[in-house]
């Protein structure tokens, strides 16, 4: 609430300063206007008098006219001696002019409106008067001056009423300003409180909170930014939860993949130690332990390889090389494994076909894809086809195996993912890292992997490697941009 009162006081202070400034200016302007009007009225009467022959009798004769206008006139000759009226009231005092004022009158200049004692009331300086120099009609020489005045109380009453009106206006304005300041401060404080409450919800883990946009002001802009932040935090939290689930699943997968060979090796070694196996089966047991050790080694190497590729810690030695011999060697290498599943691997590759890639990583990619096809194909065919265009080289591996669903296609690039989720069934591969490595290495080659598959019919993996020229042109275009 402290901010609420600070804003309210600030509003009131600003409005008070504005009102006081305007009120002071208004009073000063109005005072000047009142004095100016008073001076104009006296000046009009003075113009009438100046055109006459000023004598004691004449002034006495027009005194009723002056009385009706609530004015008085004093007449002083050139020696500054009062000629009219002849006598002053007992409480009236002569107010001699200064030398400079006398000189100003002698030079024919009038003295502007000023306080003067003319006996309207008992107070001293009871009138506002002007001083008009007189000239002799025959020779235009200085002949004295007239003091023409009106009661000061009338001017003072007008000014007092003006001051009272302005003061009332200031009080009313302050009251209205205070109410408006309260409304504005309350509105802003309510908007800030909404943001504060929403922030607490975010701190408590509720990322679904959203602030309504109402007026389109800066608070709504802030609310919109807050909503975007909450949505981003919500997405981030979902990603964190997903990553935590993947981490948990990864730990379970790694533990399982390592536990299976370790359990086999431990069982074999314990049987040999306890002489459970006859001597003639020791060679077979040692061979099995060796295979399981190799399997563990592959698992560790593939895991390290995957992390290095993902962390961009490997360097590719890309070059243009003929691809026919490589794919023929891979087909020959894996045909023995395919024969165990009564599957045939056929190769179709133009003799002059080339690919721009790291030779070792290229072989690793194709071996993983063909091996994957062998694992999921029984009594079928695997076609390894190479197609070359001006922009890229495509390696197609098509099998007649078990095929996949759309959901399975989305997940095959994840580490340790298996189409057959049964952990007891090892017929469809071991660690599940092969395709994950393929995806990462293809990304490093700026290549593309696409999969077409139909459950129960088979799958086709298409590896597209861009030509060196195409990559350089694309890099040049990005540099120009």
Confidence of residue 450 (pLDDT cuts 50, 70, 90): very high
Look at residue 332 in the predicted model and tell me its pLDDT: 92
Look at residue 434 in the predicted model and tell me its pLDDT: 67
The Cα–Cα gap between 95 and 83 comes to 15
Look at residue 228 in the predicted model and tell me its pLDDT: 82
Q: Are strands 142-151 and 72-76 parallel, antiparallel or unpaired?
A: antiparallel
Q: Which domains does the chain have, with CATH numbers?
A: 2-159 (3.30.450), 218-307 (1.10.287.130), 317-480 (3.30.565.10)
Q: Residue 194 pLDDT more than 90?
A: no
Q: Residue 162 pLDDT more than 50?
A: yes
**Distances from the Cα of 296 to the Cαs of 176, 333, 431, in angstroms?**
84, 22, 10
Judge whether 74 and 143 are in contact, CB under 8 Å: no
pLDDT digits (tens, 9 = 90+) for 358-412: 898 899 889 889 988 998 899 999 999 999 998 899 999 999 998 888 888 887 7
Look at residue 232 in the predicted model and tell me its pLDDT: 85
The Cα–Cα gap between 197 and 191 comes to 10
Question: In terms of DSSP H, where are the helices of 77-151?
Answer: 99-106
For the chain, the average pLDDT equals 80
The Cα–Cα gap between 362 and 330 comes to 11
Look at residue 120 in the predicted model and tell me its pLDDT: 76
Confidence of residue 350 (pLDDT cuts 50, 70, 90): very high
Look at residue 356 in the predicted model and tell me its pLDDT: 93
Nearest to 426 by CA among 304, 250, 189, 263: 263
CB atoms within 10 A of CB 232: 11
pLDDT digits (tens, 9 = 90+) for 274-295: 777 777 777 777 887 787 787 7
b/e 72-110 (16+ beta carbons within 10 angstroms → b): bbbbbebeeeeebbeeeeeeeeeeebeeeebebbeeeeb
| Mean pLDDT along residues 97-116 | 88
Q: Residue 465 pLDDT more than 90?
A: yes
Q: Using alpha carbons only, how large is the chain's radius of gyration in Å?
A: 55
Look at residue 51 in the predicted model and tell me its pLDDT: 73
Lowest pLDDT segment from 94-108, 265-279, 344-358, 451-465: 265-279
The Cα–Cα gap between 321 and 465 comes to 12
Judge whether 134 and 146 are in contact, CB under 8 Å: yes
Q: Is 226 helix (H, G, I), strand (E, B) or coil?
A: helix
Q: Residue 28 pLDDT more than 50?
A: yes
**Is 89 or 264 the better-scoring residue by pLDDT?**
264
Lowest pLDDT segment from 77-81, 115-119, 355-359, 367-371: 115-119
DSSP 8-class letter at 280: G
Confidence of residue 271 (pLDDT cuts 50, 70, 90): confident
Q: Residue 424 pLDDT more than 60?
A: no
Q: Residue 344 pLDDT more than 90?
A: yes
Nearest to 24 by CA among 34, 13, 16: 16
Q: Residue 90 pLDDT more than 60?
A: no
Look at residue 425 in the predicted model and tell me its pLDDT: 41
pLDDT digits (tens, 9 = 90+) for 197-217: 888 888 887 877 877 777 666
Residue at token pair 């952990």: 423
Percentage of the chain modeled with pLDDT above 90: 18
The Cα–Cα gap between 400 and 343 comes to 9
pLDDT digits (tens, 9 = 90+) for 44-61: 888 888 877 888 888 888
Lowest pLDDT segment from 103-107, 129-133, 276-280, 367-371: 276-280
| Mean pLDDT along residues 68-80 | 88
Lowest pLDDT segment from 83-92, 171-180, 245-254: 245-254
């Amino acid at each position: 609430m402290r901010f609420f009162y600070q804003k309210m006081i600030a509003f009131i202070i600003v409005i008070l300063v504005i009102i006081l400034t305007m009120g002071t200016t208004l009073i000063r302007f109005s005072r000047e206007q009142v004095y100016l009007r008073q001076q104009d009225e006296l000046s009009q009467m003075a113009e009438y008098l100046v055109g006459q022959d000023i004598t004691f009798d004449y002034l006495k004769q027009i005194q009723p006219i002056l009385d009706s206008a609530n004015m008085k006139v004093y007449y002083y000759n050139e020696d500054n001696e009062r000629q009219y009226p002849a006598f002053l009231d007992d409480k009236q005092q002569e107010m001699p002019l200064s030398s400079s004022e006398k000189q100003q009158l002698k030079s024919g200049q009038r003295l502007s409106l000023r306080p003067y004692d003319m006996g309207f009331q008992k107070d001293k300086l009871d009138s506002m008067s002007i001083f008009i120099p007189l000239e002799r009609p025959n020779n235009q020489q200085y002949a004295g001056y007239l003091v023409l005045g009106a009661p000061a109380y009338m001017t003072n009453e007008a000014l007092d009423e003006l001051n009272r009106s302005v003061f009332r206006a200031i009080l009313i304005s302050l009251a209205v300003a205070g109410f408006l300041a309260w409304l504005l401060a309350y509105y802003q404080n309510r908007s800030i409180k909404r943001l504060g409450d929403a922030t607490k919800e975010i701190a408590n883990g509720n990322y679904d909170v959203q602030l309504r946009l109402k007026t389109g002001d800066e608070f709504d802009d802030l609310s919109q930014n807050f909503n975007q932040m909450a949505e981003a935090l919500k997405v981030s939290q979902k990603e964190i939860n997903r990553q935590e689930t993947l981490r948990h699943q990864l730990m379970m997968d790694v533990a399982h993949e390592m536990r299976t060979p370790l359990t086999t090796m431990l069982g074999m070694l314990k049987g040999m130690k306890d002489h459970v196996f006859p001597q003639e089966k020791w060679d077979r047991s040692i061979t099995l332990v060796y295979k399981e050790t190799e399997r563990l080694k592959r698992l560790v190497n593939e895991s390290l390889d995957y992390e290095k590729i993902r962390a961009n810690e490997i360097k590719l030695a890309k070059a243009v090389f003929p691809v026919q011999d490589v794919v023929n060697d891979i087909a020959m290498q894996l045909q023995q494994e395919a024969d165990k599943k009564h599957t045939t691997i056929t190769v179709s590759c133009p003799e002059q076909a080339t690919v721009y890639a790291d030779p070792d990583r290229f072989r690793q990619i194709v071996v993983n894809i063909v091996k994957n096809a062998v694992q999921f194909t029984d009594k079928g065919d695997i076609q390894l086809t190479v197609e070359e265009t001006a922009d890229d080289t495509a390696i197609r591996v098509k099998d007649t195996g078990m095929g996949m669903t759309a959901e399975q296609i989305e997940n095959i690039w994840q580490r340790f993912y298996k189409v057959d989720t049964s952990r007891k069934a090892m017929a469809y591969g071991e660690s599940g890292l092969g395709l994950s490595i393929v995806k990462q290495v293809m990304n490093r080659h700026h290549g593309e992997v696409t999969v077409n598959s139909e459950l129960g019919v088979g799958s086709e993996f298409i590896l597209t490697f861009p030509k060196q020229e195409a990559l350089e042109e694309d890099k040049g275009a990005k540099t120009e941009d």
